[in-house]
Every structure is written in C-alpha cells, then in structure tokens.
A and B are shown apart, each in its own frame.
Chain A
Amino acid sequence: MNFRIVHRTVYNYSQPVTVSHHAALLEPLTLPHQQLLEFSSQIAPEPSVRKMRTDYFGNRVCFFSIQELHKRFEVVAKSLVNMKEVTPPAASLSPPWEQVVTLFSDPVSPTVAEPYQFVFDSPGARAMRELADYAQESFAPGTPLLVAVGDLNRRIHADFTYDPVATTVATPLEEVISKRRGVCQDFAHLAIAVLRSMGVPARYVSGYLRTRPAPGKPRLVGADASHAWFSAFCPDLGWVDFDPTNNVQPASEHITIAYGRDFGDVSPISGILTGGGEHVIKVSVDVAPA
C-alpha cells in the first residue's frame, strides 16, 4: 500500500534571525518492508547551504543554513512510501531473554557489533535499577524475549496515561515515571530504558502513523503529528518494533523515518539561531493512502 505524507513545520520568531543552522531528519528510510518512492522538501527562505548526508545510524539528514534575515521559516517535507504488510514474528519461538542478555555481556560477541550501539545508556534513556524491578513481572526466568517485550509493551500502555500536556520534549524520564503520564516519545524512552536496564538492546524509532484509519479500524493516537515507538533486538530475527502508545506491534501503517538511541539522535528539526528571541512552532502531519 502506498502512503503520501505531508509534514509541515513553521517557526515564527519574535525577533529577526540573522543566521540559522539546522539539521532535519524528515526523509523516511528504505527498509525491507518500506520503500521510499518519492521525497522532496521545500524550505523557505531559501537556504544558502543545503546538503544531505547519512548519519552514524544510517538515517538521512539534511543540513541547511539560512543566512538572510528572517522572522518566519517553513519546511514542508513530502514523501511517497510503499508499505508491505509485516507479519510480526512468532514471539513464543524467540530465544529466552537471558540468552540474549548473555550475548551483550562479557565475554563480548563482536558479531553483534551493530546492536551493541543500543544496549548502553544514552542521554535520554538510562538504565535504572527501579526499572529493572518494574521489568521483573514481564521477564520471568526463561520467558522468550519477544513474549517478555510484548508484555512490557502492554503494561506500559496500561500503567501510563497518555497526556499531551504532562510533559515536554525536555522532561526527564524520572519525572515521566513518577507522574505515570506522557506522550509517545516518553513511552518509547521508558520502554528503551527498561530493556537497557535488563541488558537488552533497544532503539528509538521516529516515524508517522496513518492519519485516518482504514474502515472499521480505530484511529490511533499520535496520528496528526510525528510519532515514536521502539524496537528491540532479537538474535536471528533482528529488530522488532513495538508501539507502547497504542499497545500494538507495527504492521503496515507505521512509517519509519529514522532510528537512534533516543529522541536526541533523531529530532525531526533542530536549529541554532543568531537572534530570534521567542519562537512559536506549528507542526502538521498528514498521512493518507495514495
């Protein structure tokens, strides 16, 4: 199935900006189940420098800088993506979680160098002993890894309340845990931190959800903005995605933009400005079958 995505971001500044430098991760990845057919991004005012590069994690980043005086700036990213239906692997056939943890502890297994990137703390998702305690209920001895992670996904959905005003992009995980509230980004960070506390590699996925559900299906939370979920590493199967905000395993309506250790690695648009004063951001996302 094809999806057309329009992601529009507008910044309004109270003071003129003389120079700005930005990094944008807006171009969806091409993956076994996901093919990027078309992509374009329009930036106004026209940047004087604009370059694409592939970052450390394999994501496509656009660097641009605007060197003319401006008080408003707009980025419109349009993508056309083909999605194949993913059948989630049979969780009960995955190896016991302890076996996976052993792969990532001493003695080291250099054969899994890539997932090793995601087993350690990152600024937005650190291991904590209390999170290891929280995990216990799902990680009974001998539980197959994906059964345990699926249960964790379900419990986060059940134990935490979706609340778009409780947290901001800068809210630390500790506060999310104590408030038991947050948005998709917080739940993804929480799940990642829990898995890292257990010694399982986990990564952050930034992406989109289909805006209007298919007939007969419920509208998913987070469909009118960019969405986030997480992915756990399982030997032989590779990375397996989970969406704790909606308590689902992504099938064909989760479109992946980028992977990272946490939000900090894949922030859709970041910028450093000279001038600018206060700023107001407006973001809109539309994902429609095409």
Chain B
Amino acid sequence: MTEPAAPAHAERHFDLLANYSPAGGAFDELLTRSAEPREHYLPLLSHLDSLGYAELKRRTDTCRRLLHEGGITYNVYGDPRGMERPWQLDPVPFVIAAAEWRSLESALVQRATLLNRVLADCYGKQELIRSGRLPPALVFAQPDFLRPCHGIKPPRESFLQFYAADLTRSADGQWWVVSDRTAIPTGAGYALANRLITSRLLPDPFRDGHVQRLAGFFREVRNSLAHLATRHTDNPRVVLLTPGPYNETYFEQAYLARYLGYMLVEGQDLTVRDDRVFLKTLSGLEPVDVILRRVDDDFCDPLELRNDSMLGVPGLVEALRAGNVAVANTLGSGLLQRPAFLGFLPGLCRHLLGEPLKLPSVATWWCGQESARKYVLEHLDELFVKPAFRSRVKGSHVDRRLTRDEREALARAIRFQPHQYVAQERAVLSVAPAWGEHGLTARPVTVRVYLVATEKGYQLMPGGLTRVASEASGRSVSMQRGGASKDTWVLSDEPVEATSLLSTRGQPIELRRVGNNLPSRMADNFYWLGRYAERADFTTRMLRAALLRFGPEATGSSLPFLEPLLQTLETQGQLTPGKAGREIRANHETLEADLLAAIFDPKRPGSLRCIAENLQRLAMLVRDRTSNEVWRVLSSLDDMLARPASSLMLTGDAVGILHQAMLTLAAFSGLARENMTRAHGWRFLDMGRRIERGVYLCTLLENALSSPEADNPSVLESVLDVCDCAITYRARYNLLPNIAAVYDLVLLDDTNPRSLLFQLSQLVKHVDRLPQESDNALPSAGQRVLIECVARLRLLDARELNKLKGGWHDSETGTVVSETLRDLPRLSDAIAVSYFAHSTISRTDQGGSA
C-alpha cells in the first residue's frame, strides 16, 4: 500500500480512496479511466466518505454482529470446523446503473428462454441433435442427461423454472456469462439476507438512492410456483426439499422456506403412494403439489435415478410422469450448466429464437470438435482446461501452472477422450470497491443474477449475489475458498415503491387455526430440543449449587452435604465417575478442577458445553419452525461456554457464567412458552422438557435419600435450591428445611411447576392430545405408564419421612422415586415408537446375471 495511486479528482477528493488502486487490465466498476468516480457510484461514495473511516469501521463491526445474531452461515465441505462458518458480507454494496441493468435484463431473459427451449428439445424430440446443431456427445455423454426423465413434460413446459447466471465484465466493460446455473440456482436467499443487513447499515443511501427492492421478485417466485400445481390449484402445498443441515447452503434453504412460507422437508418426510407425493405428518399423509428442490437431480429418486441416494423420494419420477406433482427445476435440468454448451449457444439462439445471442459467454473451446481440440492442445498453458461434463477427469490447476509431465498427461488424456474436456479463457474479473483495513480497496467481483419463469415470461430479480475474491489478483471467486459477498444495488431512474412479500391486499384468505402439519422427523427434533434445554437448565442449577457450597470457607466437613449433588452430576455424566472420581473428590483442588471441566470441557460428553452444543445443533434442525430469537438465545449460550477451560478461572467467575447461562435458558423457555402456538411442535418440546426434568429430579432425590444425611437441613436446602423452591418453602414454613415438608413440595405439590407431580400432570395432558392410532379405546403404551406413575404419587404421604431415622431410601417415598425413574425412559420409548419411527430405506437388485 505504498504506491501513491490516490487519484487526483478534478472536483472532489475522497479520503476513503487513498488506498484504492485497481490492478491494471481489469475493468474498474468505480472509477473511469481518468480516475473519476462513475456517476451511479457517486451518491454512495459521497455518503461513505462523509461517514468517514471510523464510522464505517464501526458499521462493519455491526455488520458482523448482525450476521452472527441472524445465524447466517455457510457450510464448508471437508473442513472439520467448516460446519456453520459465518457468512462473509462486505458492507459496501455493488452498484449497477439503471440503463445498464435494462440491457442486461433483456439479454438474460433471452438466455433463459433459449435454455428452456434447448432443455425441452433434449428431453423431447432431440431435433437439435438429429439436425446436427448440437453434437450428440453434449447430451448422450453427459451424466446429467437423465434418460428416465426423457419424455416428461413439466407443467407449462417450464423446464427451467429458475435460472441463475454468473456474470463478470471484461476489461472493455462488456458483460460476460461465466457460467449458467440450471439445476439448483443457489444464492438468492443469501442475496436477500445481504440486502436486509446492508439496508440497515446504510439506510440513507439505500432510501435516497432509488435502489430497486427485491420483495417483488420473491412474490413472483411464490405465484409462479403455485401455478405449477396440477391439483389443489386454489391452495396448493409447496414444499422445499432439502438435502439436510449438512448441505453447504442449508441456512439459505431454511431462510427461503421461511420467507416464502414453505415447509422445509427432507426426502424421508415424503412418500409416494398411488403415483402421488405425500408428506408424512403426525396425523397421517398430506398431499404435496409442488416441490422446490435443493437436492441434486439424480439424487431425487433412488428407484429410477441414483440408487444409492438417501436424499430422494422413491417413485418421484413416476409421480412426475403421471403429472401429479411438479418439481422445480425439473429433474435433469442440470444438463445445460456444463461448460461444453457455452460455445453452441450463439448458433442455437439464431436457430431457435431467430435472433443473435445478446450476452456472450466466456470464450470456451469444447475439445469434442476437432478444430477446438487442435487449438486447445497448442495453447494448453494459456487456457484453463476443465471437465466438459460432471466427471472424474482432471484439468488445469486453479492456483498454479501445469508441470511438464502434467501437461503431457493432460494432452494424452484429451486425445484419448476429447469430448470430456473444455478449455476456457482465463477471464480477468472486473474490480469493485470493497471495505478493507485502509478504507476502500479494489477487489475482483462476479455477480450471480436470478430469473424465474412466470406467466408473463422470465422475470429478473433486480439485484443479485455479488461475490468478492479474497485477494486483489483473484481470477476466480468461490465462497468455498473463503471469498466474501456483497449486496447488489440495482438503481432505478425513478423513486422506488416499497413492497413487501406480505402485502396481498384485496386477496381473500382462508382463516386457519392449525398450521401446516408437523412432519414426524420435526416432532422428533422438537422433543429432543426440549430434553436438552432442560438438561442444560438442571445441570446449570446443580453445578451452581455445588460451586456455591464449595468456597474457600467450606471445610472438609461440608462435603457430605454436597455428596447428593456430586453423585447426581456423576450419574448424569458431568463429573468423573467411579474410583477415579472418588479420589478426585477427596481433594479440594482436584474437585474444583473437575467441576470446572464439567462446565467447560468440550471433550467431556456430559459437560454443559457439550449440552449447549447439542442444543444448538437441534435448534438448527428446527430453525425453520422457530423464531429467530430462539436461535440467537441458544447461540449466545453456546458462545458463553465456548472458552478454554483455564485453571486460572476463579470459581466466582464460573458461578457468574452459570448465572448468565441460567438467565439465557430462562429466556429460551420464556420464548417457547410465550411465542409458540400450542401446536404439535410445542407439545413435543414441552413433553421433552417434562420428561427430562422428571428424570433429573428423581435422580437427585434418589441420591439425596440415599445419603445418611438426608434429613440434614444443608442437604435439604441444596435440594430446594436446585429445584428453585427455596423461596416458596420459606414463605410457607418459615423454619429450617424439614424433610417431609421439602419432599412434599418437590414431589407432590401439583401447584409447584418444578414438582414431579406437576411434570407428570402436564405429560398426561400432552399425551392425551396427541394423534392416536385409529379408534382404539384402550390407553396407549405411553398413557399406561403415566397412569401408573401418577397413581403412585397421588397415594403417597411424605409425612412418613419424619418418622424415620435413616434408611430413607427404602421408604415408600424412596420407592416411588425409584419406580418413577425407571418408568420415565419407558414413556420416552413409547413416544418414540409411536411418533418418530423412521423406517430405514433400503434397496434391492436382483443378484445379477450369469
């Protein structure tokens, strides 16, 4: 950054551009050749400059915080820490002038129309091949040409419902298509997320700058998908089919599903019966009319496509053939996104549309043609060679030149199977201003733009996902390789009207009191979310109670009173078990270390930290069905505990963190209680919570009753403390804890939301309201367990405890606690069998031929 490249502006000087020095050769989106800011960038640039460096830096931090709180992430394959990488957003938007956009728009609509026609031909009459306009290899040699899908006509002949293109500009300012996305055009959801954040970071230039809004496009998406339905056309059910949380763009899938109002489903949530697609819900099968898919074409049906796919829906292709369901994009549309097609588009456009192709593609040579092959073999070093189709063949390196041996091997491979290779010009990307450590810097960018097929033809989203290379010299941009992204501002000549997806003024709406029904898989996730939330809460309370009673003042003589707590923590996997555990507990310091490890150690499966991680994982699985606050609260819990377990940490600090954690968990249960409608999702969450609380409570009481000091006020007080009943107790009795009174309060008082009877009563209510199998008059297995547990408790009289001088564990009370502790897992199993049973999918092949 020593080069004094600061341009001398004729009229104004911009401090932020002091270090802005675009690499030679690339088109500069911001400055003209004479280093003047381009007109359409000027309002934004002036505004940024007036904010100044310090303020922009502050807003960049805000940007990071908003991304984090919004849980906006991107999964990176092959990186153990890659799950949930925060999305990188550069707060400086990419700006495109109105007139320029208009010409891009007509070119992109033409291209989408063309590609749709080509797809229709490849999956129909194949006249382009027969007439010699398309080499047969382009279709027949492609793994993406799905023969079982040949002859299927999608509704409205819409093979390409969605289309995206990656654009860049060459040095002379000409826009080029770098690649087409015809199977699963990803990223529109990230573009939307970027917009929501950027417009908050830079509200003034966004409002005053005539920036076109995105909501109208997403309304078109919804309308056009609804129009694909062939049944239930008045109120079709559209679902978003996801490969699951481990997919790189899972965040976006959940985000879009929520924004568009679709249910997010996995393949195992759907089933085909009588050539129709259904959603498996708690209360039976519900028809599905349209599937917006994020699962790769050939993974969508293991019966007719890839038979090793675990992500698809067996029988889907046949349901498509029968015309009972629509899938967008249609299966097999990935055919056209391979680079081998690029060179043939101009000719196909003239033939099919009778006009020249308006937007050129990056120069591409497909080696299946003799002249191209010859050229490529002569220019192996300058060109970028890559597989023409989805295949195992290898081409050039992204980051370095070929060695001599590699070049010879590549040339041999090309000569052996030329149709497997294409070569492309190494495109120089245009550069745009990005936020850097020293103000604005020039970074290479590409823009992905999105179109949707509507009744009025293709509509272009007025915006896009701009991606920024991580280095100034970048020739390619990839989110997988650590690039960032930007909001894309498409300007309008006129003031922009604010629209929202939700404005459906004048349209009649059918009122509903029941939401879209819950898939069984989601019920399972909610149930475990409830269990882990309670596990976190109870563990936190026990650890806090233990640490508070374990100060420097506590002498060895106080340890017996602590024993029930420590024993419970050991049973539940927080403390070191067995003989080693007993030795650790004999020593004050080692015990302290063990307690801290129980909070922070990421390798101890029962530690609070691990529980919080599990909780966050489950929150991710139900993310499209819970409020964003739920996600944020649970993320903050995870952050709170994700710190190195340092021996230097004082127990006081740890108690502070536990206290914070308790408040965060209270916020989570408050959100669940006050914000979730009492539908099945909430019911399973609460059942999970009640069962877990019952299990922990019984474990604690069993250990307390086993202690020779069971009636000691110190022990009883710690029980009250963990159960959050100390204040109630004092208000009622105004005396030192008495064993009968304490056990009555925590076991039998059904007005106390922490008592065992309260948990069981809630469970009875929930289980009675679950969908039952057919018209069976007998109680279900779950109901039977609950009836027994409740009856035992109701018949119990805790006053017997006062008559004992030891042996509490063998009392009536002790027996009831132990029996309940044995029965609760049976209840959990019964629920799992009735409602979560995911039968596994398997495949068969006849054993082959002889």
Contact B130 A113 (CB under 8 A): yes
Judge whether B339 is part of the interface by a CB distance below 8 angstroms: no
Does any Cβ of A come within 8 Å of B3's Cβ? no
CB-nearest residue of chain A relative to B304?
A23
Instruction: Provide the B112-151 mask, 1 if CB < 8 A to any CB of A, else 0.
Output: 0000000000000010011110011100110100011011
- Shortest CB–CB separation between residue B813 and chain A, in angstroms? 44
B137 engages A120 (CB within 8 Å) = yes
CB of B224 closer than 8 Å to a CB of A = no
Contact B842 A227 (CB under 8 A): no
Let me know if A239 is at the binding interface, CB within 8 A: no
Query: Which of A57, A120, A129 counts the most chain B CB atoms within 10 A?
Result: A120
Interfacial chain A residues near B140, Cβ < 8 Å? 116-117, 119-120
Complexed CA–CA distance, A257 and B417 (Å): 31
Does B557 belong to the interface (CB within 8 Å)?
Answer: no
B774, CB-defined interface residue at 8 Å: no
Q: Is the Cβ of B844 less than 8 Å from the Cβ of A271? A: yes
**In this complex, what residue of B is CB-closest to A268?**
B846
- Whether A183 contacts B849 by the Cβ 8 Å rule is yes
A267 interface residue, CB < 8 Å from B? yes
Question: Which of B153-161, B249-257, B269-277, B572-580 faces chain A?
Answer: B269-277
Q: Which residues of A contact B136 (CB under 8 A)?
A: 108, 110, 113, 116
Is A37 in the interface zone, CB < 8 Å from B?
Answer: no
Contact of B842 with A276 in the complex, beta carbons under 8 Å: yes
Contact size class for B? 35 or more
A245→B849 CA distance, assembly (Å): 11
CB contacts (< 8 Å) of B419 on chain A: these are 120
Interface residues of A in 168-207 (CB under 8 A from B): 168-169, 183-185, 206
Does A235 sit within 8 A of B, measured CB to CB? no
- Judged by a CB distance under 8 angstroms, whether A279 is at the interface is yes
Q: B269: shortest Cβ distance to chain A, in Å? A: 13
Query: CB-CB < 8 A to A185: which residues of B?
Result: 848-850
Bits for B808-850, please: 1 = Cβ < 8 Å to A, else 0.
Answer: 0000000000000000000000000000000111111111111
Of B132, B318, B416, B843, the residue contacting A63 (CB under 8 A) is B318
Q: Which residues of A contact B302 (CB under 8 A)?
A: 272
Does the CB pair A270–B841 fall under 8 Å? Answer: no
B782 at the interface (CB under 8 A from A): no
Q: In chain A, what residue has the closest Cβ to B308?
A: A170
Q: Report A39-75 residues with CB < 8 Å from chain B CB.
A: 48-49, 51, 53, 55-57, 63, 65, 67
Question: Cβ of B849: which chain A residues have Cβ within 8 Å of it?
Answer: 183-185, 206, 222, 225-228, 263, 268
Binary B-proximity of A1-24 (CB < 8 A = 1, otherwise 0):
000000001010000001101110
Q: Restricting to B313-362, which residues have a CB under 8 Å from any CB of A?
A: 314-315, 318, 321
Contact B848 A55 (CB under 8 A): no
B369 at the interface (CB under 8 A from A): yes
The interface residues of chain B lying within 8 Å CB-to-CB of A9 are: 846
- The verdict on A287 contacting chain B, using a C-beta distance below 8 Å, is no
- Shortest A149–chain B CB gap in Å is 20
CB-CB under 8 A from A151, the residues of chain B are none
Shortest C-beta distance, B183 to chain A (Å), equals 19
Provide the bound-state CA to CA distance between A142 and B439, in Å. Answer: 71
Please judge, given known A-B contacts A108-B136, A272-B303, whether A168 and B843 are in contact too, CB under 8 Å. no
Contact (Cβ within 8 A) B132 A168:
no
Q: How far is the CB of A212 from chain B (nearest CB, A)?
A: 16
**Neighbour of B848 across the interface among A49, A121, A183, A221, CB < 8 A:** A183
A238 within 8 A of B: no
**In the assembled complex, B370 has its CB within 8 A of some CB on chain A:** yes
Q: Knowing A56-B148, A108-B135, A272-B314 are in contact, say whether A19-B273 is a contact too (CB < 8 A).
A: yes
Q: Does A216 contact B (CB under 8 A)?
A: no
From residue 96 to 136 of chain A, which have CB atoms closer than 8 A to chain B? 105-108, 110, 113, 116-117, 119-121, 123, 127, 129, 132
Beta-carbon contacts of A261-277 to B below 8 Å, as 1s and 0s?
A: 00101011111111111
Docked-complex contact A281 and B839, CB < 8 angstroms: no
Q: A11–B848 contact, CB under 8 A?
A: no
Quick check: A18 and B314 within 8 Å, CB to CB? no
Whole-angstrom distance between the alpha carbons of A269 and B844 in the complex? 8
Complex: A56 Cα to B843 Cα, angstroms: 22
- Interface centre among B132, B307, B314, B418, by most chain A C-beta atoms within 10 angstroms, is B314
Interface residues of A in 123-158 (CB under 8 A from B): 123, 127, 129, 132
Contacts of A21 in B (CB 8 A): 272, 303, 314-315, 318
> A71 to B688, alpha carbons, bound, how many Å?
34
Bound Cα distance A110, B416 (Å): 22
Contact B132 A108 (CB under 8 A): yes
Q: A11, A63, A123: which contacts B844 (Cβ < 8 A)?
A: A11
Minimal beta-carbon separation of B124 from chain A (angstroms): 12
| Cβ contact within 8 Å between B846 and A269 | yes
Q: Give the shortest distance, in Å, between B72 (CB) and chain A (any CB).
A: 36
Contacts of B151 in A (CB 8 A): 56
Q: How many residues of A contact B (CB 8 A)?
A: 63
Q: A245 — nearest CB in chain B belongs to which residue? A: B850
Q: B residues within 8 A CB of A105?
A: 370
Contact of B395 with A by CB under 8 A? no
A106/B130 in contact, CB under 8 A:
no
Whether a CB of chain A sits under 8 angstroms from the CB of B387 is: no
Partner of B370, one of A107, A183, A283: A107
Which partner residue on chain B sits nearest A164 by CB separation?
Answer: B850
Most buried by A among B314, B840, B850: B850
**Distance, CA A169 to CA B844, complexed state (A):** 11
**B606 interface contact, C-beta 8 A:** no
Which residues of A in the span 199-235 have a Cβ within 8 Å of any Cβ on B?
206, 221-222, 224-228
Q: Is B564 an interface residue (CB 8 A)?
A: no
Tell me whether A106 and B303 are in contact in the complex, defined as CB-CB below 8 angstroms, given that A48-B274, A113-B126, A120-B419 are known contacts.
Answer: no
Query: Do A226 and B303 have beta carbons less than 8 Å apart?
Result: no
Find the residue from A106, A183, A270 having the highest chain B CB count within 10 A. Answer: A106
Residues of B within 8 A of A129 (CB): 412, 416
Contacting pair A267 B845 (CB below 8 A): yes
Closest chain-B Cβ to A273's Cβ sits at a distance in Å of 5
Cβ contact within 8 Å between A272 and B129: no
Decide: A49 and B132 in contact? CB cutoff 8 A. Answer: no
Within 8 Å CB of B307, what residues of A? 270, 272
B850 lies within 8 A of A184 (CB): yes
Known: A23-B304, A164-B850, A270-B844. A18 touches B839 (CB 8 A): yes
B71 contacts the other chain (CB 8 A)? no
**B368 touches A (CB below 8 Å):** yes
Minimum C-beta distance from B153 to chain A (A): 15
B272's partner among A56, A65, A281 (CB-CB below 8 A) is: A65
- Do A127 and B148 have beta carbons less than 8 Å apart? no
Q: Is the CB of A110 within 8 A of B843?
A: no
Task: Determine the residue in chain B with the shortest Cβ distance to A266.
Answer: B849
Within the complex, the shortest CB–CB distance from B391 to chain A, in Å, comes to: 8
Please, which residues of chain B bring their CB within 8 A of the CB of A164?
850
Q: Please, which residues of chain B bring their CB within 8 A of the CB of A271?
A: 303, 843-845
Q: Are A225 and B850 in contact (CB under 8 A)?
A: yes
User: Would you give 17 A-B contacts (Cβ < 8 Å), ordered by A?
Assistant: A11-B844, A19-B271, A21-B314, A21-B318, A49-B275, A51-B318, A53-B321, A106-B418, A108-B132, A113-B129, A119-B140, A185-B849, A271-B845, A274-B839, A275-B842, A279-B842, A283-B846
Q: Give me the interface of A with B, judged by CB distance under 8 Å.
A: 9, 11, 18-19, 21-23, 48-49, 51, 53, 55-57, 63, 65, 67, 105-108, 110, 113, 116-117, 119-121, 123, 127, 129, 132, 164, 168-169, 183-185, 206, 221-222, 224-228, 245, 263, 265, 267-277, 279, 281, 283
Residues of B within 8 A of A (CB): 126, 129-132, 135-137, 140-141, 143, 147-148, 150-151, 271-275, 302-304, 307, 314-315, 318, 321, 368-370, 373, 391, 412, 416-419, 839-850
14 extra interchain contacts, Cβ-Cβ under 8 A, other than A107-B370, A225-B849?
A51-B318, A57-B147, A110-B130, A113-B130, A117-B140, A183-B848, A206-B849, A226-B850, A227-B850, A272-B302, A272-B307, A272-B314, A272-B842, A281-B844
The 9 A-B pairs of least Cβ separation, nearest first, read A169-B848, A120-B141, A222-B850, A272-B314, A56-B147, A116-B136, A225-B850, A228-B849, A110-B132
